[in-house]
Each structure stands twice: as structure tokens, then as C-alpha cells.
Amino acid sequence: MSQVLSVSRTEPGCYPSISAALMEAGKGGTVVIQPGTYHERLRLPDGVTLVAEDGRGTVTVDGGDEVAAFVGGGHVTLRGVVLIGGGESFPVVQVSGGVLEIIEGEVTARGIVAIHARGGELRMRGCRVGSPDGAAFLFEGDATGHVQGTTVDGTGRGAVIITGEARPAFQGCTFTDIRGPGVLSSAPGGRFDRCEIGPVDGPGVVVEAAGAVELRKTTIRDTTGAGAAVAGGRPLFQECVIRATGGHGVAVAGDAAPVLRDCTIESAAGFGLHLTGAAQVTVTRCSVSEAGWGGLSATERVAITTKGGSFTAQAGQTSLLFSGEARGTLQGTSVHGGTDGMAVQDSATVQTEQMVVAGTTEVAVRVTGGPCRCRTSAPRAAGRPR
């Protein structure tokens, strides 16, 4: 039969500490904690539930400069509890195995990271996380996670870091007042659905190495760096909005192969899309507008395919710029405004099909280097192709 144990620092007949109650609680036991701050470092056994008796924010577990709550196996639930701790060598919460579920809780770090999952599974719902001098989440090893409706407010070294084979999923979460990247991924997993990332003092999303994070219906906004900086991997951006970025909207380099579908990129300080290296980029039904330097720059050995979508340039800009040895295949893509619709320079090559250019002040396509092949219907503009 499951036990219910009460903890109070002042009430007679109660356990004086959470640790003392945990020693007596069997699997399936519930520890009900009266309001107060408990200076403890909890190693949580299988099957226990910790509940703040008077609701969210009334119970604080302070682990000093070490781990406040550790789970190495089993299934543990924390409800309404505030966790504080960590330092230069320790997180506030650490999961190495089993399942830790935090409901309507708060986690605040004093050091490098608030929550470190190196195995097992982290589940969070309706929580708040802060880490003024570090990161909010670090997922590595084979850790998984399901984080819903949680706000990360104030970090010093990024919000979410995903490495190894970790595969966390975030749904309906908000990441705000972030220093460092909002998301840093070098893992083949990870997913963000209906999240909001920003403001960020740095890039919104960084993808490296084998990173294959997926972002769906997520907004990345108000960054001082690029909205997304992709230096490797195969990330997916689907139905995302990237706006008001201090750098390029999306910057791609190296051998990265990102896929963008049904995305909106607007008000980037640099190019909407800036592609370098040997990247292979697929852009489907995306809208790029109000970029400071133009809609697209593809250079070096980049290969880009666009399907549908539109690029809108401002006065004095070229919407699409191909240079170096870049290769472009544009299918059913529309270009609006600007001085020139598209410029092809150096040894770049471009093939277009059903492409429409409208509202340019000079020419539709300006070719000063490699070949530009137009199929089915030539680009159209106020001026003529040159």
C-alpha cells in the first residue's frame, strides 16, 4: 500500500527533512511538503512523488552549489517544487536513467546548467527555467525528453544544447532573454513544435556536425546574430517564422543540407538566405522579404533548389545573387521588386522553370558570368533580360 508522508520544518509529527521522508517512503509513496526552503541534495528513489502542499512556488529545495535533485532510475514525479542549486561543476537537476517528471515546477541555476540529462527521460509540463550564468538544458548520451508549455527566461550560455544521440522534444515552449544560442544541436535528434525563440543575444538556432533537429511551426525572432546558423547536418525548418534578425535570416555553410518548407523569413539585417561552402539547400514554398542586403546570396560551391515561394527585394537590391561556382535550380519561384531580379556572376550556373520576376527597376536577370538557362517560360520583369 502506498504511503503519504508529511514534511515540515516546524510542525510536530512531520518529518523534519525531505531526505528523511524519502528514506521511509516506499515505491509509490507520496511526500507532501509544507511551505519553506529546504537546504538539501536529493537522490530520488524509484516510484516516489514529491508535492508542494500549498501549491506551486511554496516549497524550495536549495542544493547549494551542487545537485539539488538527482534521478538515476525508476520513475519520479515532482509537483509544484522550486529547485535551486548548481555551480561551475554541477547542474541543479541531473537525470542519468529512469524518468523524472516535473509538473508546474521551477528550476534556477547558479552555475553552468539548470538541467542535465545524460540518460533516461525528462518530462516537464508548465514549468519555468532560468540559468543566468549558464545554459537551461543540456541533453547528451541517449537521453530523451518531453517538455511542454515551459518557459525559459534568462540564460547566460544558451537555452537548449543537444549532443550525442539525445532526442528531446519541446512543444509550446517559450525561450526569452537568451544569451548564447537559443538552440545548439549537433545530434541526429531533437524537435521543437509551436515554440517561440527570442529575444536572443546571439543566433537563434545553431546546427553543427550531424545535427538533424526539426523545428515546426516555431518562431525565431529578435536575434543579434543569424536567425539560424547551419554549419553542418540536415536540420528541418517547417512552417517556421524567422524575423527581425541582426544577421542573416538563415546562414548556411560547410556541407550542411538544411531543408526549409513553408517558412517565412522577414526583416533580416543581412541576406534572407546566405549560403556558402558546399552546402546543399532545399527551399520549398518559402517567403523571403524585407532583408537588408537582398533575398538570397549563394556562393562558392553551394547547390540550392527552390520550389515555389517568393523573394521580395527593396529598392537598390538584387533579389537573388549567384556567384563563385554556385548552382541554382529555381522552379516556380517568384521574385518581386529590387533593381535586378537575379544576378549570375563568376562561374555560377542557374536553371529556371516557370519563374516570374516582376516590379524590378532595371532587369529581370543580369548575367555577367556563368550560364543561365530558362525553361518553359522566361523570367519576366519591367526590364529585359541581359
Q: What is the pLDDT of residues 119-159, one digit of tens each?
A: 999 999 999 999 999 999 999 999 999 999 999 999 999 99
Average pLDDT, stretch 162-171?
A: 98
DSSP state of 44: P
Cα(23)–Cα(30) distance, integer angstroms: 12
pLDDT (0 to 100) of residue 27:
86
Q: With cut-offs at 50, 70 and 90, classify the pLDDT of residue 247.
A: very high
pTM of the model as a whole: 0.94
Q: How many Cβ atoms sit within 10 Å of the Cβ of residue 89?
A: 10
Q: With cut-offs at 50, 70 and 90, classify the pLDDT of residue 370.
A: low
Cα(8)–Cα(25) distance, integer angstroms: 15
Cα(215)–Cα(237) distance, integer angstroms: 5
pLDDT (0 to 100) of residue 1:
47
CA angle 271, 276, 279 (to 5 degrees): 115
Taking CA atoms, 59 is separated from 14, 107, 258, 347, in Å, by: 15, 12, 44, 66
pLDDT (0 to 100) of residue 83:
99
Query: Rounded to the nearest 5°, which phi and psi values hold at 20?
Result: -65, -40
Cα(375)–Cα(352) distance, integer angstroms: 6
Amino acid at 8: S
Is pLDDT above 70 for 383? no
Cα(280)–Cα(305) distance, integer angstroms: 8
Q: What is the pLDDT of residues 306-349, one digit of tens each?
A: 999 999 998 899 999 999 999 999 999 999 999 999 999 999 99
Cα(211)–Cα(93) distance, integer angstroms: 25
Average pLDDT, stretch 191-207?
A: 99
Q: What is the mean pLDDT of the chain?
A: 95
Burial 1-16 (b: 16+ CB within 10 A, else e): eeeebebbeeeeebbe
pLDDT (0 to 100) of residue 384:
46
Is pLDDT above 60 for 369? yes
Average pLDDT, stretch 271-279?
A: 98
| 371: helix, strand or coil | coil
Task: Return the C-alpha cell found at 73.
Answer: 532510475
In whole angstroms, how large is the CA radius of gyration of the chain? 25
Does domain 1-179 bear CATH number 2.160.20.10?
A: yes
Q: What is the pLDDT of residues 24-53, one digit of tens each?
A: 998 889 999 999 999 999 999 999 999 999
Nearest to 64 by CA among 88, 85, 40: 85
Domain locations along the chain? 1-179
Nearest to 251 by CA among 298, 201, 196, 187: 298
Amino acid at 146: H
Is pLDDT above 60 for 79? yes
pLDDT (0 to 100) of residue 135:
99
Alpha carbon 8 to its chain's center = 40
